[in-house]
Amino acid sequence: AQSVAQPEDQVNVAEGNPLTVKCTYSVSGNPYLFWYVQYPNRGLQFLLKYITGDNLVKGSYGFEAEFNKSQTSFHLKKPSALVSDSALYFCAVRDGGNMLTFGGGTRLMVKP
């Protein structure tokens, strides 16, 4: 069975500082990894994905994620945080099938 862990319920960062939101996964076979963001009273918005290829994946709104196979991690990063980045972030994994398994979510708070 596949699983995703987001070890931090909340991450606090000052505006302009780099941010990292952590994600580790467990899946048999090759992982398809995703990051989604959710703003209040909204659905999930796709940020980026890793399927194969370069370990550093670039996505929307200046976000990027680094795939590390040996550590089974897929951490989300941004060089300079904005207050508007404050939201709930979800990491998800899909194996060769069709079902997305989500982590518990990490609330990102960016303070001015």
Footprint of another protein (CB under 8 A): 32, 34, 36, 41-46, 49, 51-52, 90, 96-105
Of the two residues 6 and 81, which places its CB atom closer to another protein in the complex?
Answer: 6
- Beta-strand relationship, 101-102 and 106-111: unpaired
Which lies closer to another protein via its Cβ, residue 82 or residue 100? Answer: 100
**At closest approach, how far in Å is the CB of 27 from another protein?**
14
Minimum distance from CB of 70 to another protein (Å)?
22
Q: Is the dihedral of CA 39, 34, 47, 16 positive or negative?
A: positive
